Amino acid sequence: MSEPSGTQRANQSLTDSPWFWVMIFSAVAVVLLLAISPKYAKRQGRLELQYQGRQEIARRQVEGSSAAREPGEEGAAAPPPPGELIIPLWPLTLLFTALFAIAAGFLYRTRRALGQSMTQANPGAKP
């Protein structure tokens, strides 16, 4: 295979770059994560409360104490704060935001290098 000539490289569209698609994918992922986060937080909070309840029941069975306790003697463990989840979405949002920035940087670098090689190949042509 031969390397594409200057005119062939000039005809390459933005969508031919894999960095463009990585950038689009990560942008859509961030938007979708932000859109679903309120419903996710509600559902995940409920699931985590159920998980912590089952853990407490299992702990009491291992200790040999009764599963039910009298009012006021529920235990020293405080309930988790309402907005704090064991499995939050912010790490994924941060990951896809960083991926978007990296892909945008590489796309810019690739397009700029392509434009510079075009101007060197055709000095009289507009970039």
In a domain, 127, yes or no: no
Confidence of residue 17 (pLDDT cuts 50, 70, 90): very high
How much is the pTM?
0.71
Q: What share of the chain is helix, strand, coil (3-state, %, to 5)?
A: 70, 0, 30
Question: Where is 75: in which H helix or E strand?
Answer: none
List the one residue out of 1, 9, 15 whose CA is nearest residue 120: 9
Q: How many domains are there within the chain?
A: 1
pLDDT at 10: 54
In a domain, 104, yes or no: yes
Structure tokens at 68: 């039910």
In a domain, 12, yes or no: no
pLDDT at 64: 83
pLDDT at 91: 97
123: pLDDT strictly greater than 80 = no
In a domain, 4, yes or no: no
67: pLDDT strictly greater than 90 = no
In a domain, 36, yes or no: yes
80: pLDDT strictly greater than 80 = no
Q: Is residue 17 within 8 Å of 80, Cβ to Cβ?
A: no
In a domain, 8, yes or no: no
Domain extent, residue 115, equals 20-77+88-121
pLDDT at 3: 52
In a domain, 42, yes or no: yes
In a domain, 114, yes or no: yes
